[in-house]
Amino acid sequence: MAAKKQQGFTIWTPTASGDRGGNIFLAILAVVAVAVPILNLVVPSSSALHLSPFGITLIGKYLCYGMLALAIDLIWGYCGILSLGHAAFFSLGGYAMGMYLMRQIGRRSVYGDPILPDFMVFLNYKSLPWFWHGFNHFGFAMLMVVLAPGLLALVFGWFAFRSRVTGVYFSIITQALTYALMLSFFRNDMGFGGNNGFTDFKDILGFDLHSDITHVVLLVATVIALAASYLACRAIVESRAGRVMHAIRDAESRTRFLGYPVESFKLWIFVFSAVIAGVAGALYVPQIGIINPSEFSPINSIEAVIWVAVGGRGTLYGAIAGAVVVNYAKTYLTGSFPDVWLYALGGLFVVVPLFLPRGIIGLVTARGKHK
């Protein structure tokens, strides 16, 4: 009887279905990386097929959000850690990049101070605060893009996981974390430009941020970073460590009982996820051209979790697809029917867990099986 049960039974594991979907996703990324430069740089601007700089920025934004969703899915979908503060890591990466871009402006700023960014001159700073030193070097700034979110996640996660804060309590304190950061970054005396944040960037590594070619290169860099993060996450979830993460998600104390240091698994995976979010933020800022404290706002983190839920939790590529689809809908709705967006978002909140527990990807793979 037992043998009969096994026959004809198809196993569903996220990794098994993830391979095919994931490969399709990588192929789509490759197409984007090739098509965007051609449609923008080669196709003449008179053609209907021409991709405007605005279009590139939009795609770049969606992909950065996709990377944030990927980071959330790694910890939520596979390890059961629901962070409602992941936009904080995204924003920290963005701020680190923004500090580099601010220092690149130099004499071209409105006040023309060679060292101090405009907002510091305006706020009567006499010299550069200590934590701004080094950000004139691209390499140092990139190090900070990784270190700032990574270290925050390490310290925050160490305290939270060590105290065995889990489930909804963890989610609530991550909300508090991002809210506290938002309030701090709003303060002028923090030295991060207060509520205006950073903007009016000129160039990156000497390349003009307003030229099409720079936009194209930034987009391709985003595609590469997204593909690399996806492959890294996939390698993790397909390793034995990935199976331990599954085990933690489904039966945490049982996993602890097998002798796995559950807290350290959670901590490292949380730090890695925060770093991916930070890199996504760093790629977002030069493409969008602005970073300010509202990026830390709690609703941003919650929206990002909705992207993952809509796309399909625990598939990695589904989270990215969810981010793109929801943000495309947001762009469209806020443009055409500005009043509708918040209702649509609220509706997603209700409809997705009720009717699409496995998201869009779950819907697609279920259809595929019936055929």
From 45-53, 169-177, 192-200, 258-266, span contacting another protein (CB under 8 A): 258-266
Burial class (CB in 10 A: 0-12, 13-18, 19+), 10: exposed
Asked if 369 interacts with another protein (CB under 8 A), we say no
Asked if 250 interacts with another protein (CB under 8 A), we say yes
DSSP 210-266: TSHHHHHHHHHHHHHHHHHHHHHHHHHHHSHHHHHHHHHHH-HHHHHHTT--HHHHH
The CA distance from 150 to 271, in Å, is 5
Number of residues located near another protein, criterion CB under 8 A: 31
Q: Which is nearer to another protein, 230 or 284 (CB)?
A: 230
- Nearest approach, Cβ of 81 to another protein (angstroms)? 14
Adjacent-strand bridge partners of 208:
203
Asked if 241 interacts with another protein (CB under 8 A), we say yes
C-beta separation of 209 from 203 below 8 A = yes
Q: Which is nearer to another protein, 13 or 211 (CB)?
A: 13
From 11-19, 276-284, 352-360, 362-370, span contacting another protein (CB under 8 A): 11-19
The CA distance from 251 to 124, in Å, is 56
Q: Which is nearer to another protein, 50 or 243 (CB)?
A: 243
Tokens 């430069």 sit on residue: 37
Q: Which is nearer to another protein, 13 or 23 (CB)?
A: 13
What are the distances in angstroms from CA 326 to CA 79, 137, 305? 24, 36, 11
Which of positions 218-237 make contact with another protein (CB under 8 A)? 236
Figure out which of the listed residues 25, 65, 89, 265 binds another protein, where binding follows CB under 8 A. 265
Q: Which is nearer to another protein, 9 or 54 (CB)?
A: 9
C-beta separation of 105 from 192 below 8 A = no
Interface contacts to another protein, rule CB under 8 A: 2-3, 5-6, 9, 11-13, 236, 239-241, 243-244, 246-247, 249-251, 254-261, 264-265, 268-269
